[in-house]
Amino acid sequence: MSMNFLELEQVARDWTYEAGEKVKQSLENPIHIESKSNPNDLVTEVDKAIEQFFYEKITQHYPDHLFLGEEGIAEELTSLEGTVWIIDPIDGTMNFVHQKYNFAISVAVYHEGVGMIGIVYDVMSDEMFRAVRDSGAYLNDVELLPVLERPLEESIVGINARWLVEGRNPYQNPLRALVRDLRGTRSYGSAAIELAYVAADRLDGYICVKLSPWDYAAGAVLLEEVGCKISTFQGKRLSMLTPNTVIAGKPQLHKEMISGYVGEEL
């Protein structure tokens, strides 16, 4: 029997609210922080506990589903066959630690490689961005409208200022030119929230030199549901198994940002 993704989204949403409550409660106590690949790549016991929470729920209720999470609790995935949950337990851990605000739980379900469910829950502002493929996208209970285009010079794009100065980043110059030509830029410190903001028409686009599948898996479902595009800088489909460059936006802007700025293979 084929899976009912509307029903599954309801379950995923309930678990996400439950996880959000746990994250909020954790803020009442001191948070233990560690760093991962570099001193600014932070992780806390809350990230791990939330991933564990989802992993247990999913294996208990859907034993044949697979799991891909940032903190690596499950076995490594080598293919997207079957039904795969792609989860970032806290996206924006630096904000979680420093601001106690502006972080999200990102939950996606992919079926045979196709994004079926996307949930981005901004815990502190209690904003849940959610979509089921071909069934519309919502912010809490309000349906998101198909996006309206704006010219590039009137557009606001999410980008982390670090990409304009990082010495080892080959896209520094095209990104500087893009930032010069846009109306403005914003940086919220959570890729998942920024992608959700594009879907909700709070940003016109979002761009990042390197992200991992759990950062954009849910955002991609939201974006496609409102008619936006998301791809690598070269316009290719994003892999859900390896890191990628990521560019998202309204279709015309997405196209122009690629062809006029970052599309060249470097």
Choosing from 91, 122, 204, 256, the residue that interacts with ligand IPD (CB under 6 A) is 91
Closest by Cα among 246, 222, 242, 247 to 109: 222
Residues 16-55 that bind ligand IPD (CB under 6 A): none
CA distance 128 to 109: 16
Residue closer to Ca ion (CB basis): 189 or 249: 189
By CB under 6 A, which span of 143-151, 172-180, 185-193, 252-260 interacts with ligand IPD? 185-193
Residue 163 is given by DSSP the state G
What whole-number distance in Å separates Cα of residue 99 and Cα of residue 123?
Answer: 13
Using CB under 5 A as the binding criterion, the count of chain residues that bind Ca ion stands at 5
Tokens read off for 80: 């997207």
Nearest to ligand IPD of 93, 155 (CB atom): 93
Distance of CA 174 to the CA centre of its chain: 23
160 is an interface residue for ligand IPD by CB under 6 A: yes
With a CB cutoff of 8 Å and minimum separation 6, the contacts of 32 are 44, 45
Q: In the beta sheet, which residues pair with residue 87? A: 69, 107
Instruction: Output 84 or 211, the one with its CB closest to ligand IPD.
Output: 211
Q: Which residues is 86 bridged to in the sheet?
A: 68, 108
**Nearest distance from C-beta of residue 249 to ligand IPD, angstroms:** 17
> Which range, of 57-65, 117-125, 163-171, 213-221, touches Ca ion by CB under 5 A?
213-221
Interacting residues toward ligand IPD by CB under 6 A: 70, 88, 91-93, 160, 189-191, 208, 211, 215
Interacting residues toward Ca ion by CB under 5 A: 70, 88, 90-91, 215
